[in-house]
Chains A and B, each alone.
Chain A
Amino acid sequence: DTAVSQTPKYLVTQMGNDKSIKCEQNLGHDTMYWYKQDSKKFLKIMFSYNNKELIINETVPNRFSPKSPDKAHLNLHINSLELGDSAVYFCASSQDRPRQGKAFFGQGTRLTVV
């Protein structure tokens, strides 16, 4: 059983398009995250939700909008995609916010904007 699953694994799309990445966790965790890993492998948090409530919102363009329909799901919608959005996006979850370091990560979604 996959603990944190993301779909799709690969996404190739043209500039200007709108796309979504879905994430689901079956661990019963309260807190979920989106991270972005750039081409130099640098990993940075984008958003964090705790029980469907947004608790961390880093300096991310407002073209990125997370949505958490329930605590097991955290989706990421991106409008008007740009070349610089190309990266690997990781979803993660932790039991609660204080235990964010003991997070479980998904396999990543490699987004390529052409």
Chain B
Amino acid sequence: GEDVEQSLFLSVREGDSSVINCTYTDSSSTYLYWYKQEPGAGLQLLTYIFSNMDMKQDQRLTVLLNKKDKHLSLRIADTQTGDSAIYFCAESNQGGKLIFGQGTELSVKP
């Protein structure tokens, strides 16, 4: 089956690192994605990783993929108040659909 799960909330202090976790079930996933949704806005693609990679770094963002455990994480270094948003993990499967997790609401406190 297709299922993507995330914890619902994460609260961190400004300047700390944030780690948002995601698990998925479809082992045929080719790409895995992280999207950001700010209040009242649409989703914005942050980063993605191909399933044969185990890490990708893009400035303050680091994506780690453990394909054996079907676990994906997004680390945000030096988290800022502007990073407060909902973060969605998503996988694209061979059926041609994008499956989203429930979203993790990140709250950054000054």
Q: Which 8 A-B pairs have the closest CB atoms?
A: A105-B42, A43-B100, A105-B43, A101-B92, A101-B33, A41-B103, A107-B42, A101-B31
Asked if B42 and A45 make an inter-chain contact with CB atoms under 8 angstroms apart, the answer reads no
Q: Digit string of A29-48 for contact with B (CB within 8 Å is 1, else 0)?
A: 00000000000111111001
In the complex the two chains form, what is the Cα distance from A90 to B40 in whole Å?
12
| A83 contacts partner chain B, Cβ-Cβ < 8 Å | no
Complex Cα distance, B40 from A102, in Å, reads 20
Task: Say which size band chain B's interface belongs to.
Answer: 20 to 34
Give residues in A with beta carbon < 8 Å to B: 4, 40-45, 48, 55-56, 90, 92, 97, 100-108
Query: B residues bordering A, Cβ < 8 Å?
Result: 31, 33, 37, 40-45, 48, 86, 88, 90, 92, 96-98, 100, 102-103, 105
One of B33, B42, B97, B102 near A41 (C-beta < 8 A): B102
Q: In the complex, what residues of A have CB within 8 A of residue B98's CB?
A: 45, 100-101, 103
Contacts of B41 in A (CB 8 A): 107-108
Number of A-B contacts (CB under 8 A): 53
Give min CB distance, B92 to chain A, whole Å: 5
Q: Which residues of B contact A100 (CB under 8 A)?
A: 92, 96-98
| 16 A–B contacts from the bound complex (CB under 8 Å) | A41-B37, A41-B86, A42-B102, A43-B43, A43-B103, A97-B96, A100-B98, A101-B31, A101-B45, A101-B48, A102-B45, A104-B45, A106-B42, A107-B40, A107-B42, A108-B40
